[in-house]
Amino acid sequence: MKNNQSEIIGDLYNLLLNPATRDWERSLLRIAKAGIDNGAKFEDQIAKLEAELRPLALRNNLTPDVTDFYLKITNDPLAGSSFDLSAHYQGDGPHQARAIFAGGCFWCMVEPFETRSGIISVVSGYTGGHMDNPTYEQVVGGYTGHVEAVEIIFDTQIWSYKELVELYWQLTDPTDAFGQMADRGSSYRPVIFVTNEEQRQIAERSKQDLAESGRYNHPIVTAIEPASTFWLAENFHQQFYQKNPRRYKKLKRSRQQFLVFQRMQTKLGHGWNRLRKK
């Protein structure tokens, strides 16, 4: 096994203590660690554990941290490909600024921004809640008040904040306060988190312009809230579109089809109203 034995054992111990680990995952991890502690051959115990986890791993149904562990023990090339978070933690440069958007599942909110010139970094995380260091399962369970969001560091010489907000509108349903598309619940509500007064004014003006544009039949309900601590999501969630391209393409296609259908309905509604007035 390429990975250091003591490192794997440390990972097992940490996963056993991790509150996000599911009970059945924890039971398998505990059996493996107990076997190793009792003198069983390390490679045999890890092989048995991998076989037990494999069916759920193939269906992408392990919790994020256990997924990372599974990739490590199978020597998957994605293992250890921890997302580079240096840009997130370091101070912004003279022509850099940040934008934070929540628009449903953050898996679908990274690629539309990250693949554009002038975008320096995009990370997935949780914000707007009342608990420190929330886990994915706590957030989607609705226990923390957080929403899934992305933090974008952008080059202000190439992008204005107003342009980013306008792109955000194109990616989301601003009339749905209770989720986005198939993602339901408070952790998926659409929010623009503003980091200063200038961003707040731009976001408010853009929201008002959208409301007056007639593009939607229903009120624009996307919230505009002050930014608070942005907690990074687990490594499994970072750059999901690259790690799970087939699954991401299905999710992206579903969102796009919904938005196209919604906009078509609005246009048809406007056309019908004009005919009735004649």
Task: Give catalytic residue positions.
Answer: 105
3-state secondary structure (DSSP) of residue 41: coil
Strands (E) located in the chain: 96-102, 119-127, 147-155, 179-180, 183-184, 191-194, 223-226, 231-232
Query: Are 172 and 106 within 8 A, CB to CB?
Result: no
Per 3-state DSSP, the chain is made up of helix, strand and coil in percentages (nearest 5) of 50, 15, 35
Query: Are 29 and 15 within 8 A, CB to CB?
Result: yes
Query: Are 145 and 129 within 8 A, CB to CB?
Result: yes
Nearest to 105 by CA among 257, 221, 254, 263: 254
Residues sharing a CB contact under 8 Å with residue 108, sequence separation 6 or more, in sequence order: 171, 241, 248, 251, 252, 255
3-state secondary structure (DSSP) of residue 99: strand
Residues sharing a CB contact under 8 Å with residue 262, sequence separation 6 or more, in sequence order: 173, 216
**171: number of CA atoms within 13 Å, CB side?**
25
